[in-house]
Chains A and B, each alone.
Chain A
Amino acid sequence: MKFSAYALLKNALTGSVWPEQWSSPEPRASYDVVIVGAGGHGLATAYYLASEHGIRNVAVLEKGWLGGGNTGRNTTIIRSNYLWEESQKLYEHAVKLWEGLSQELNYNVMYSPRGVMMLAHTLHDVQSAKRHIHANRLGGIDNEWLTPEQAQAFCPILNVGPNIRYPVLGAALQRRGGTARHDAVAWGYARAASKRGVHIIQNCEVTGIRRAPSGEVIGVETGKGFIGAKRVGVVAAGHTSVLMGMADVRMPLESYPLQALVSEPVKPVMPCVVMSNTVHAYMSQSDKGELVIGAGTDAYTSYSQTGGLHISAHTLDAICELFPVVRRMKMLRNWGGIVDVTPDRSPIIGKTPVEGLFVNCGWGTGGFKATPGSGHVFAHTLATGEPYAINAPFTLDRFLTGRLIDEAAAAAVAH
């Protein structure tokens, strides 16, 4: 069934129940490709395998429910204003796919290019932001410098006064950046992939990766029994180290809880996304009216999906200083997700030392923005056995050769 104004009207008049958006089949004995993890990146990979490469004998295995991990927990920020050329190409590839995604999937992912404004509070911030702007413009990516007055005009509730601990000295604005509806991204990809014959199997935890005596992968052990596969793609975010350990591959990853929180819903007050790496706070407003606030990671590795309260409190201190108008608002919920962080804060998308085993991981604190691009290049890698030009630099091998893509210093903590 295709969503359209006509379908909506017809359904409203006839009062019929909308059909199931994706099927939940029992697994086959084997597949051409098995993807571990039904978050946005895994589902996008399955969709592009089916739509662009004609590989439809694909299963996406999920230990919980679809989109219930970091896809459902992030703060939905989309931007491509990274420092290095490799990163710019990867994230810009995703932004270009975001721009047409609702039409392509026939599912409203509510992509809203409302502008992402990154604040500068110190002389170093100003220099760093301007360096980013120049690097981005050389790479064909929009990014512009705003004075404090221009920043306040773009976001009227922003405090640009001189009397805060870290006054706003200016901002870098990417107008094409913005947000999207995180659940809709997972649902839209799931629906479009399922329509093309992909099996999405929820409540099916992978407990082992089976290899032939000659070393190559032949399938996965799951809660629903053994499932054969010619190729396996691990897209499991915070649990990647655990899964890759099943194939005896050690990863350059550490998993940390990253927290976010939302306020009670209010009328529109926040027309854009504002981020500050220095005081570590970022905020936008959802279409429901909640202020969506991103906090930091805990200091230590953990799989707890909670995180310490002082991390959220620290961010709220900064939010209250930057946006005094929200000081008396109540927070409705806070939560944590487990993010897999690489030493250079760039993802790993490609082959592994094990034949037939591929990995897409290391998106750290900022993977949501890359969802379409990540799925698109990883599908190419799984289909052909070789990386797409855009993800070729993002190998596991770069930690052996030393050709790191160091966005750690470039982008600080917030993504």
Chain B
Amino acid sequence: MLLIDCPHCGPRPELEFRYGGEAHVARPAEPATVDDAQWMAFLYLRSNPKGLHFERWRHMSGCGRFFNCARDTVSDKILKTYPAGQARPSLEALGLAPVDHEVRA
């Protein structure tokens, strides 16, 4: 079970949280102008990386708020949690060398 550091409440067991899927997937600002391929990318295509993953969690049994999390999907180690709306942290901020992890947009 993961120990997740909610940016608002502090470290709590995984059971208090609900996973919210990949983070930083932006809904198209002008939906009427978007073609099928762009909708497919927004709705269904996910980076699903083996390594560094940016993801959303929601603290259901605490503050109820969404926040973001950087986690290694091989070791499941959580590198950083940060409030929703913040830009994703740089590799340097996560203590990672750029060659180890390729970040896909």
Seen from chain A, the residues whose Cβ lies within 8 Å of a Cβ on chain B are 239, 241-242, 245, 250-255, 299-304, 308-310, 343, 399-401
Contacts and interface: CB of A to CB of B under 8 A. Distances in A.
Nearest to A313: B1
A239 B104 CA distance: 16
A301 B22 CA distance: 9
A255 B48 contact: yes
B55 A300 contact: yes
Interface of B: 1-2, 14-15, 17-19, 21-22, 36-37, 40-41, 43-50, 53, 55, 71, 73-76, 104
Nearest to B18: A299
15 contacts: A239-B50, A242-B48, A252-B45, A254-B46, A299-B14, A301-B73, A302-B76, A304-B74, A304-B76, A308-B14, A310-B1, A400-B36, A400-B37, A400-B40, A401-B36
Contacts of B15: 310
A24 B52 CA distance: 35
B43 A399 contact: yes
Nearest to B13: A310
Contacts of B73: 255, 301-304
Contacts of A239: 50
Contacts of B71: 300
Contacts of A401: 36
Contacts of B55: 300-301
Given A301-B55, A309-B1, A310-B15, A252 B75 contact: no
Contact of B48 (A301, A304, A309, A400): A301
B14 A343 contact: no
A245 B51 CA distance: 13
A303 B74 contact: yes
A261 B75 CA distance: 21
Given A299-B19, A300-B71, A302-B74, 12 more contacts: A239-B50, A242-B48, A254-B21, A254-B22, A299-B18, A301-B73, A303-B50, A308-B1, A399-B43, A399-B44, A399-B45, A400-B40
A400 B17 CA distance: 32
A299 B47 CA distance: 17
A250 B74 contact: no
Given A299-B18, A303-B74, A308 B44 contact: no
B50 A251 contact: no
Closest 7 CB pairs of A and B: A252-B44, A241-B48, A299-B19, A250-B45, A399-B44, A308-B1, A300-B19
